[in-house]
Amino acid sequence: MNSIANELTENKTGELKLYKELEFELVPGDNLSFVQQVADVKSERNALIKAAHGTTTLAFKFREGVLVATDSRATMGNVIASQEVKKVIEINDRLLGTMAGGAADCSYWGRVLGMECRLYQLRNKKLISVAAASKILANVVYRYKGSGLSMGMMVAGWDDKGPGLYYVDSDAQRLTNDLFSVGSGSTFAYGVLDAHYKYDMGLEEAKDLARRAIYHATHRDAYSGGIVRMYWVHKDGWVAYPLEDVSELYYQYHPEIEITNAADSPLTVNAA
């Protein structure tokens, strides 16, 4: 230990040896303008740095609160990086966030939002409202608008005004509505939601709708898959439901298809 400490002591010139050995090439000039030139997160042009991302997340209000559901697949271009990503951020006892876009951006800014909501609670002795939480997130990411962030988050919860649902993205766009779906599989999820969504639903009907929407998105979108993760936000907090494998849901929603063993039914070819 002493030898390591001696190696890190100052040399005759007053500089650390470690600092002299490590040299990093920095981006010349304005970092923001450099990122805007070489990065593209919306697939609108060819760029040196192109963000590849895909997911399916959704949330909607209904009679008994807010239902939040996501898939769990993380991709790097055409490569599946993980099937077990938790895309729901538990901000506090009444507030949830969802992740869509760059995993690092969503995870980091989700934690920042959690910190800000906790500080608000300590200062004001009460939980933050859904609208205020989403506004904090929008204000924070506005400072980095155009700098290459890739993020589309939903903030869902329950406060004094009842159920709340907001969408915030990396361009600091902030919207509120009764229903949102975000990610590469959102178009398929919207097809199910638009056909069957109604506000006056019970809990079980809402859960089935969210489950079906996520399943159909994962079935048609190669960048979505894994498991269905569902949360119900109500006046007393939120409830997390058991995870459901989308591959098993396929046979649940297509009962006419039977699982067979290839060894029991060998392929036969008729001779010409």
| Long-range CB contacts (within 8 A, 24+) of 198-201 | 199/61, 199/62, 199/63, 200/62, 200/63, 201/62, 201/63
Phi, psi of 255 (to 5 degrees): -65, -20
As a whole number, mean pLDDT of residues 197-203 equals 94
pLDDT greater at residue 144 or residue 138: 138
Is residue 194 over pLDDT 60?
Answer: yes
Q: How confident is the model at residue 19 (pLDDT cuts 50, 70, 90)?
A: very low
Q: Which of 16-25, 133-142, 181-190 has the lowest mean pLDDT?
A: 16-25
Report yes or no: 72 and 226 within 8 Å, Cβ to Cβ: yes
Q: Which residue blocks in 98-185 are alpha helix, DSSP H?
A: 103-124, 130-142
Specify the pTM. Answer: 0.77
Q: Percentage of the chain with pLDDT > 70?
A: 74
Per-residue pLDDT for 232 more than 60? yes
Contact yes or no for 212/204 (Cβ under 8 A)? no
DSSP tag of 97 = E
**pLDDT, position 15:** 43
What's residue 11's pLDDT?
A: 45
- Give the pLDDT band of residue 119 (cuts 50, 70, 90): very high
Judged against a pLDDT cut of 70, whether residue 43 lies above it is answered with no
Q: At what angle do helices 186-196 and 203-220 cross, to 10 degrees?
A: 150
Could you report the per-residue pLDDT of 50-80, keeping only the tens digit for each?
Answer: 555 678 999 999 999 999 999 998 887 778 8
Q: Would you place residue 13 in the very low, low, confident or very high pLDDT band (cuts 50, 70, 90)?
A: very low
What average pLDDT is seen over the chain? 81
- For 136-164, what is the mean pLDDT? 89
Please give the pLDDT value at position 60.
96
Q: List pLDDT tens digits, range 157-171.
A: 999 999 999 999 988
Q: Which residues are catalytic?
A: 55
Residue pointed to by tokens 């979108």: 221
The single-letter code of the amino acid at 188 is: F
Q: Which of 30, 53, 67 lies closest to 238 in space, CA to CA?
A: 67
Which of 34-43, 142-151, 183-192 has the highest average model confidence (pLDDT)? 183-192
